[in-house]
Structure 1
Amino acid sequence: MSTHEFEKSSSYDFNHEGHKSFRCSAIEISESSLIEYTKASASFNDSAIEISKSTLIQHTEGDKGKSTIDKEELYHPNVPADLIPKKGETVSTVDEGIEMYRTYGKAAGFGIRLGSTTTYGDYSLRKKHERKSYSKVTGCMAMIGFDRNYKTNTITVYAFEEAHNHPLTEFNEESLCSHNHRLSISDQELIFKASTLNIGATKAHKIRASLKGGYDHLPATKNDFKNFWRDYTNIVGPNDAQCVVDQLIIRRDNYPNFHFEYKLNDEELSAMFWVDETGKENYSKFSDVISMDATYRTNRYNMIFVPFTAINNHEKTINVGAGLISDETIESYSWLLKDFLSAHKKKPTMILTDMDPALTSSISKELQGCTHRLCMWHIMSKMPSKIDPNVVSNSDFKKRINQLVWSMNIEPSEFECQWDMMLDEFDLRENKWLDDMFNKRHKWIPSYFRDIPMCGLMKTTSRSESSNSFFNVFSSATNLLVNFMFKFDTALSKQRHEQKRLDIASRDTSPQLLFAPDPLKIEKHASLVYTREAFLKVQKQIKKAFYQCFQKTSIIVNGFQECTIVYKEVKSGKRPEFKVSFNAHEQTIDCACLHFQFFGILCSHAFRVLIDYNIFEIPQKYILDRWKKNILDVAFQKVNHRWQVCNTNISNLLRDAFSYYEKCIDTVVHDKETLQELVNALQELSVNCGKNVASKPSSNPIKEVVENVIGLHIADDIKIKVPSGIKTKGSGKRNRIKSAAEKAIAKSL
């Protein structure tokens, strides 16, 4: 007889959990009963095997180490009559019977536990096992037995023992009983969603307890939360790289303009790059200057996270692509840059990076024609370790070198002259590091980028590092790749939500003008076309034009009004002069300070001339698209895909269910009578809900639970392995930082 046939023709017995021991006995069919069944199988007819009550009790009372019922110490549950199982009562499925007895047990103050399934030859049975424990069950004989009729396929209660040999759990003790330690779907989702914010299982348990009104209202323990996260890690871990690649391929195949490529090395994931439609749209508008900065500690394999960062029309950093690479080699960076170009179809005007020689070589090879600039902050931060401390601490030297290095208003020839003077004055002519930095001056000194549009927009990778730090808030060196991708999505969602918020604020609000209610017309015009953040910068220049600039001379040369504008510096009292050339007919204006060339916004000297000649609107050619309102469709400013790809309909319905529940609460929270009506309706719904739903197993395999919570299918066939043995440059040892007390103790030993 097959296992399937055996399970259709068998008896099921449920014992209860003793109050003192907090353990449950299992669903059991005794081995002796199985032997009897095996012997009788040849003459078995369509009626089910019946294990008599006396046979069951005899077997249970004979268990080693368990007490028998003491007739003088019996406890009878006080529960509503409609919850008490009755002999002869039928249920549709075994699981329905389990749930019926569990509901009765909860009302009575005890719990049940299902035993493990064991196979003997062609037969399968559920059997009780002894387990190592700090306590033993009380040997209580309270039980229920079910009998399946093979012919009618009905399940009947054939045995029920109501009396217990121990006190039952009080209502306020329920949360302490192990049979109530069950994670709900809300608990599981909270554990996982909290992890996307770098909140661990222990803190998630505290949060859940707080939301539930205290630990007494939270059946699951801290260990239940931790065990779920452990199970999740154990299940996802071996499939990590495969899972990530599979899901990004699904995104590529199902979402418009989603780009994804990956690279393997001996079946191990070694590199990947991805960017979605919104990232592509952002790059198409803001590709004038981008930065890339490699970091690590975002995943347990030490794969290096490389975000590509641009600056949007609100002067905020935005992501225009991301990569993970296994090492910092020319080959890896070249592959990444090639795929970046494959996704975006055009090179940036300028790219900013650190001084990594492998990255520098890759850029010169893959981004020919793109201006490569080194991060000034990285270079200047090395200065204290490269120069005599006495010189570095000299305030005159610090002032001189900062003015020289960071200034955008000096010509290259003037920079070189002042650099030589500084070396001689502070006796630094023999310093090899300064000599090396001077030889690389065309890669990092602003004077050498004066002819590059928007070169002042980004002078350090702090923009990229800020973006990287932003992503690092949501990442950890212990992450699985799956976790990292969830956290990346969370960070990206937050970034794009902020961009949409700023878009709406710029569209729907008006900034305060300098001379309201009778503002300058040119300022009013600026407030209508620029985003709020860009307008504030324009307004600052207009304010300087009005209060700190005046026109000294003006002559006409070849149809151009050549003006000399004097700028009054407030702090120093200096009055530098700037030449401004203006043609009213052609609506062109140029200033020698090159402010517009650097930042894409007219300078105070130009605004002074426009105001003097009654120009009421900024000429269109000086309003760059990258600073305008509504340059991007609001629909693009979202993560139009979530990492979950399976069970999306169920996920959406769950979200809607919680949303409607919260809406109901918000509506009636201030009306006690209506709130009570809602509670009553929910109670009735909880009783009737699911009565017509097909019965499902009372406990799902943990893999299925994990898949449902994270919305990912975890493949059994692993073709792409996780990276192994990766170590980044400068990663060093990852030792825990010791406290002062630990150091003192170690020193004394």
Structure 2
Amino acid sequence: MNMNIIDLNKPCQEAIQEEQEVIEQEYEQESECINFEPFTGQCFLSEEEAYLFYHKYAKQHGFSVRKTRFDKNKDGKIKRRDFVCHREGFQQSKIADPVMKQRNTASTRCDCKAHMRVKLKKSFEIFPEQWHVTEFVAIHNHELLSQEEVRFLPSYRFMTNDDEKRILLLKDGGLNVKQIMRVIELEKNVRHGHLSFTSKDVHNFFSRFRTEKAKNDVLDFLEYCKIAKKENKNFQYCVKLDDERKINAYDMPLGIFVGVDNHGRSILFGCALLRNETKSTFSWLMRTFVSMMKKTPKSILTDQDPWMTQAIAEEMPLTKHAFCIWHITSKFAFNKTCLLLDTQEEFENRWPQVIEKYKLEKNKHVVGLHSIRHSWVPSYLREHFFAGMTTTGRCESFNAFIKRFTTSRICLSLFIKQVDLAIEDIEQNQLQVRMLEKYRGASLRTLSPLEEQHKTS
């Protein structure tokens, strides 16, 4: 049985919003050059029309309004309404919870008495009921804002449905909030900083959108993977549930498997979102990767994570595991002098001299580096094929690419789509390289006769 929640009020809400926009546009046109002010006895056809009139008046005079007190008749119909300055009254004090983190936001309320009261009544017995202004107080007890300042009040900031769709589209294109704002300014031919919403509103919109998407996030993610597997025979995925048969959807580290193709370009073999960085998790990761690739890699390059090292040794016993040399040499510059040595014997002879020179005989880190020299010293790795890779820089480049489109708070369903985008980008680059190779012919990187023979064969 499936259950879907339908908002039956949405069409009505949209209709009301459209009506408000039409009325407000009419007031904009009529009062563009008129400095109007409410007066006692003024009539309106509806409560909403009265509110929009006072709303427009408030914007011109540097404040915003809100609806407050009202009276109803015996039938429950509102017959009186007050519209007040947004700084009316005082903020009610809240009981602070010492456990919860409190937001340090001061109230702007200062008991301002400016307001407009309207009442539903007839002017004459033969006339229909209308909303009459019965009270109007124009004096404020605070400084009013200028026209440049008043537009920043929440009441005058808004996004249309078209704005939201455009913002999401630009976000999918990899633009950050500042870039999105600038593009929309240019599209609407609006002065910089004069959109009807601010960058904070865009951030808040993204938060609401993520919250809404999160309701069915895991289900959408799994459904996307199922469809992708049907449409692409090369697409594979694997999901492991926790002890409660749930997926930990957030705050998960991302693991990336990157290699080199026959054109010397980076290629993404796969990626994984991990529950944690323990040995058991890394073991599952390596075991799953080998299962999907149908064979173990000849070599693998990682950082010096001890749990990952143990997992690789157990799950890939025939794979040569090496450590990223940048992580090692960036901490100790003297190590670089040992990297240019051709043989293992030269390294073993040179290493004690370096230790003595820098007085590092008791340095535990340096002693540890020597114990794992078979996994990072070039002279010990020459017999193994690493396709020219000595660092995890290619993984870092992919990580940076994916971060252009994602954040740590992105939904799973959106994340997998962005990973697909990264893969498609790689495939298109490879296709272009193959085309150029056929069109121009392969270019030699060395003067080796072996490479020349491979080109002509």
Aligned counterpart in structure 1 of residue 288 of structure 2, from 339, 346, 360: 339
Give the match's secondary structure for 2:238. Answer: strand
Change (3 A) 1:243 1:133: farther
Off by >4 Å, runs of 4+ in structure 1: 13-24, 127-141, 177-181, 200-203, 218-228
Aligned counterpart in structure 2 of residue 196 of structure 1, from 172, 176, 179: 172
Report if the CA contact (8 A) 2:260-2:387 is conserved. Answer: no
1:505 matched to which residue of 2?
A: 436
1:211 aligns with 2:187: yes
1:183 matched to which residue of 2?
A: 161
Report if the CA contact (8 A) 1:240-1:480 is conserved. Answer: yes
Change (3 A) 1:442 1:243: same
Partners of 1:18 and 1:138 in 2: how far apart?
21
1:450 matched to which residue of 2?
A: 382
1:68 matched to which residue of 2?
A: 43
Partners of 1:182 and 1:422 in 2: how far apart?
67
Report if the CA contact (8 A) 1:330-1:358 is conserved. Answer: yes
The aligned amino acid for 1:365 is E
Displacement of 1:619 in angstroms is: 3.3
Report if the CA contact (8 A) 1:334-1:363 is conserved. Answer: yes
The aligned amino acid for 1:68 is C
Partners of 1:133 and 1:23 in 2: how far apart?
23
Give the match's secondary structure for 1:373. Answer: strand
1:96-135 aligned at under 5 Å gives the runs none
The aligned amino acid for 1:253 is K
Change (3 A) 1:478 1:197: farther
Aligned counterpart in structure 2 of residue 459 of structure 1, from 375, 390, 395: 390
Change (3 A) 1:430 1:220: closer
1:328-367 aligned at under 5 Å gives the runs 328-367=277-316
Give the match's secondary structure for 1:303. Answer: coil
Percent identical among aligned pairs is 23
Report if the CA contact (8 A) 1:182-1:219 is conserved. Answer: no
2:105 matched to which residue of 1?
A: none
Change (3 A) 1:440 1:429: same
- Count of aligned pairs between the two proteins: 339
1:233 aligns with 2:213: no
1:326 matched to which residue of 2?
A: 275
Partners of 1:377 and 1:331 in 2: how far apart?
27
Give the match's secondary structure for 1:232. Answer: helix
Displacement of 1:306 in angstroms is: 0.5
1:267 aligns with 2:216: no
2:260 matched to which residue of 1?
A: 311
Displacement of 1:353 in angstroms is: 0.7
Change (3 A) 1:136 1:181: farther
1:153-164 aligned at under 5 Å gives the runs none
Report if the CA contact (8 A) 1:352-1:373 is conserved. Answer: yes
1:380 matched to which residue of 2?
A: 329
- 1:357-383: CA deviations, max 9, x gaps? 110011011112111111111122232
Partners of 1:18 and 1:195 in 2: how far apart?
27
Change (3 A) 1:320 1:403: same
The aligned amino acid for 2:452 is I
- 1:512-567: CA deviations, max 9, x gaps? xxxxxxxxxxxxxxxx4x3x4xx2x22xxx3xxxxxxxxxxxxxxxxxxxxxxxxx
Give the match's secondary structure for 1:263. Answer: coil
1:403 matched to which residue of 2?
A: 337
Partners of 2:364 and 2:188 in 1: how far apart?
65
Report if the CA contact (8 A) 1:241-1:481 is conserved. Answer: yes
Select the structure of larger CA radius of gyration. 1
Partners of 2:380 and 2:319 in 1: how far apart?
15
Report if the CA contact (8 A) 2:342-2:379 is conserved. Answer: yes
Change (3 A) 1:22 1:372: same
Give the match's secondary structure for 1:269. Answer: coil
Aligned counterpart in structure 2 of residue 490 of structure 1, from 399, 421, 437: 421
Give the match's secondary structure for 1:318. Answer: strand
Q: What do you get for the CA RMSD once the two structures are aligned?
A: 4.4
Report if the CA contact (8 A) 1:244-1:482 is conserved. Answer: yes
Change (3 A) 1:441 1:209: same
Partners of 1:413 and 1:479 in 2: how far apart?
51
1:420 aligns with 2:352: yes
1:567 matched to which residue of 2?
A: none
Partners of 1:23 and 1:233 in 2: how far apart?
36
Question: If the length of structure 2 is used for normalisation, what is the TM-score?
Answer: 0.62
Give the match's secondary structure for 2:290. Answer: helix
Give the match's secondary structure for 1:190. Answer: helix
2:367 matched to which residue of 1?
A: 435
Change (3 A) 1:459 1:179: closer
Structure 2, unaligned stretches of length 5 or more? 1-14, 28-39, 46-77, 86-114, 122-127, 133-154
Higher RCO structure (Cα 8 Å, ≥6 apart): 1
1:86-97 aligned at under 5 Å gives the runs none
Partners of 1:469 and 1:309 in 2: how far apart?
13
Partners of 2:157 and 2:362 in 1: how far apart?
77
Change (3 A) 1:375 1:225: closer
Change (3 A) 1:246 1:417: same
Partners of 1:494 and 1:504 in 2: how far apart?
16
1:289-308 aligned at under 5 Å gives the runs 301-308=250-257
Change (3 A) 1:450 1:210: same
Report if the CA contact (8 A) 2:325-2:391 is conserved. Answer: yes
Partners of 1:234 and 1:443 in 2: how far apart?
45
The aligned amino acid for 2:168 is F
Partners of 2:176 and 2:397 in 1: how far apart?
24
Change (3 A) 1:203 1:458: closer
Report if the CA contact (8 A) 1:475-1:487 is conserved. Answer: yes
Partners of 1:133 and 1:233 in 2: how far apart?
34
The aligned amino acid for 1:190 is R
Partners of 1:485 and 1:250 in 2: how far apart?
12
Displacement of 1:18 in angstroms is: 9.5
- 1:582-635: CA deviations, max 9, x gaps? xxxxxxxxxxxxxxxxxxxx3xxxx5xx9xxxxxx9334xx69xxx9xxxxxxx
Displacement of 1:225 in angstroms is: 5.5
- 1:162-201: CA deviations, max 9, x gaps? xx99xxxxxxxxxxx98996322xx444222322355455
- 1:273-311: CA deviations, max 9, x gaps? xxxxxxxxxxxxxxxxxxxxxxxxxxx922010110001
Change (3 A) 1:128 1:264: farther
Question: If the length of structure 1 is used for normalisation, what is the TM-score?
Answer: 0.39
